[in-house]
Amino acid sequence: MWKWFHQLASPPHFYRIVPIFSTLLLLPGLALIAYGVYAGLFLAPMDYQQGDAFRIIYIHVPSAYLSMMAYMIMAVAGGIGLIWRMKLAHAVAASAAPLGAWFTFLALATGSIWGRPMWGTWWEWADPRMMSELILLFFYFGYMALRAAIDDTAKADKAAAVLSLVGVVNVIIVHYSVEWWSSLHQGQTIMAKDGPAMDPAMLYPLLANIFGFTLLFGSLLLRRTRTEVLFRERRTRWVKEMILAPEGQR
C-alpha cells in the first residue's frame, strides 16, 4: 500500500499512468452524462409546477455539488502538501482551483437562468444559497490571485494551502451566517425546506448526471494535474529525457 502511494507521488510515474486512469474515469463519466442529459431532457416527466424549466436542474445540481467538492479537494490536497511536503498534492490543489471556479460559475449561471422564470428575477439577493455560492466564487478568485502573485512556486503552494485551510473553516461560517441573514428578510423564495419528493423518472437522470459530472471532474483534474506536473518539473532530467526520447517510448 505505502509503496504504491510513494510511487504515485513520484512525478514521472504519475505523469506516465495518468492517461490510463483519466480515460478510465472519462468514458463511464461521459456515458452517464449522455444518459442523464437525454433522460433528463426527453424522458423525465414535466414538473407539475415548474413545467419544463425544472430541467436545468440536471446541470445545476451537479455543478453546485462539484463547486464545493472541488474546494474541499483543493483544501485537503493543500493540507497534505503542507503537512507531508508532498509536491504532487500541491499540483492537485493548483489544478483543482480553476475547475472549481468554473463549476461555481456554472452553478451560479444556471441558477440565475432558472431563477428568471421561477422567481421572476435573474438574481435574488435574499437567497442564502446564491449568496454562499457567490462568496465561494470570490474565494476561488482570491486563491488563484494569491497563487498568481507569488513567483516562487514552492512559496505560492504553501501560502495558497494556508489560505484554503483558513477558507474551509470560513466557508462553513459564511454559509450559516448567510442563512441567518436571509431568514431576517421575509420569505421571498419559494424553495421548500426539504424539497418535494422526486419522481424516480426525474431522480435517476439527476443521479446519473451527478456521478457523471464527478467522474468527468476527476478525469479533468488528473489531466490538469499532469500538465501542471510537467510544467513544474520542466527543468528536471526525466522531462528532458522524455522529450528527447523517440516518439514511441514516451
Partner 1 sequence: MTAPVRRMPGMLDGLLAVARRDLLLAWKRPGDVLNPLFFFAMVCTLFPLAVGPSAEQLTFSGPGVLWVAALLAMLISLNSLFISDFDDGSLEQLLVSPQPLPLVGLGKTISHWLTSGLPLVLVSPIVAITYRMQGDVVLVLMLTLTLGTISLSLLGSIGAALTVGLHRGTALLSLLILPLSMPVLIIGANTVSLAAGNETYSAGIWALSAYAVGTLSLAPYATAAALRISNE
Q: What angle do CA 90, 138, 183 make, to 5 degrees?
A: 125
Q: Looking at beta carbons only, is 116 or 185 nearer to partner 1?
A: 185
> Which letter, b or e, does each residue of 177-205 get, where b requires 16 or more Cβ atoms within 10 Å of its Cβ?
ebeeebeeeeeebeeeeeeeeeeeebebb
Nearest distance from C-beta of residue 159 to partner 1, angstroms: 5
Of 141, 155, 61, 132, nearest in space to 100 by CA: 141
Q: Looking at beta carbons only, is 67 or 209 nearer to partner 1?
A: 67
3-state secondary structure of 101: helix
Q: Looking at beta carbons only, is 37 or 163 nearer to partner 1?
A: 163
Nearest distance from C-beta of residue 11 to partner 1, angstroms: 22
Which helix (H) or strand (E) segment holds residue 169: the answer is helix 153-184
Q: Are 88 and 9 in contact (CB under 8 A)?
A: yes
Q: Looking at beta carbons only, is 89 or 216 nearer to partner 1?
A: 89
Nearest distance from C-beta of residue 171 to partner 1, angstroms: 9
Nearest distance from C-beta of residue 86 to partner 1, angstroms: 16
Nearest distance from C-beta of residue 180 to partner 1, angstroms: 7
Q: Looking at beta carbons only, is 12 or 98 nearer to partner 1?
A: 98
Nearest distance from C-beta of residue 233 to partner 1, angstroms: 20
The site for partner 1 (CB under 8 A) is made up of 135, 138-139, 141-142, 145-146, 149-150, 152, 154-155, 158-159, 162-163, 165-167, 169-170, 173-174, 177-178, 180-181, 184
Which helix (H) or strand (E) segment holds residue 217: the answer is helix 200-232
Widest Cα–Cα separation across the chain? 68
Q: Looking at beta carbons only, is 89 or 208 nearer to partner 1?
A: 89
Nearest distance from C-beta of residue 101 to partner 1, angstroms: 13
Q: Looking at beta carbons only, is 149 or 190 nearer to partner 1?
A: 149
Report how far residue 60's alpha carbon sits from residue 175's, in angstroms, rounded to the nearest whole number: 19
Report how far residue 88's alpha carbon sits from residue 173's, in angstroms, rounded to the nearest whole number: 30
Q: Is 121 left (phi over 0), alpha (psi -120 to 50) or beta?
A: beta
